[in-house]
Amino acid sequence: MTEQLSEQPGWSRRQIAYYRARAAEYDSAYGERMHLPQLAKTLDELPIRGDVLELACGTGQWTRLLADRAQSLTALDAAPEMLDIARARMQGTTTRFIGADVFSWEPDRQYDTVFFAFWLSHVPPVEMEAFWDLLRWALAPGGCVVFLDDSPAKAEIEDLAVEMDVPTVRRRLADGTQHHAVKVFRDPAGITRQLNDLGWGAQVSQADPYHLAGIARPRDHA
């Protein structure tokens, strides 16, 4: 892990370090910053099926909601501490876990659904094209990408770090330590336009005033 991280850009190393440090208190966000029951209802309406890949699975909060809808489920995260919690949460299931940084990871198979929650806003503009190329590679013909994320309205509760080389926010943990994470607030229209330019057909809408939901399919897939 250390050797792999040393090869990553500074923003990626900082982001992974933040989530490793935050693992033990990560689940509190679902009570403080998100309304999980309402977002779970939104998830129920999204097309999740077949062999499912979840990116940036964190502690498995979304993984457990995906399990009953998936024929097979693979969950990936770069933070070992997050994966330990997710594995415990999913004990007794056949979920496959992968420890890897998505920005340097290569899929070993294809999936009917690729899902991620609150991850697209952690992808900096410089990586968007490569990230969506990865998703195209990971999708089986006829498959789709499904995602949930913060809307620009959430920017009001963030501490923006304007001096960084990519859009970044400062986050403080319970122990008082300060960390940095990429945070790009994209609105539905902006995401739709960008994905259209990258060769995707997308439907992105507001799930509620603070969250958005999206479905995207590559136009060149059969």
Share of the chain above pLDDT 90, in %: 85
Confidence (pLDDT) at 144: 98
Confidence (pLDDT) at 134: 98
Burial class from Cβ neighbours inside 10 Å (0-12, 13-18, 19+) for residue 143 reads: buried
Count other Cβ atoms within 10 Å, centred on residue 183: 22
Q: What is the pLDDT of residues 63-85, one digit of tens each?
A: 999 999 999 999 999 999 999 99
Residue 6: pLDDT over 50: no
Whole-prediction pTM: 0.93
The answer to whether 157 and 172 are in contact (CB under 8 A) is: no
Confidence (pLDDT) at 163: 80
CA distance 145 to 130: 15
Q: How confident is the model at residue 38 (pLDDT cuts 50, 70, 90)?
A: confident
What are the domain boundaries of the chain? 2-218
Mean pLDDT calculated for residue range 103-117:
97
Question: Does CATH place domain 2-218 in 3.20.20.30?
Answer: no
The answer to whether 220 and 150 are in contact (CB under 8 A) is: no
Share of the chain above pLDDT 70, in %: 94
Confidence (pLDDT) at 176: 96
Residue 164: pLDDT over 90: no
Which residues touch 122 (CB under 8 Å, ≥6 apart)?
Answer: 15, 56, 181, 182, 183, 184
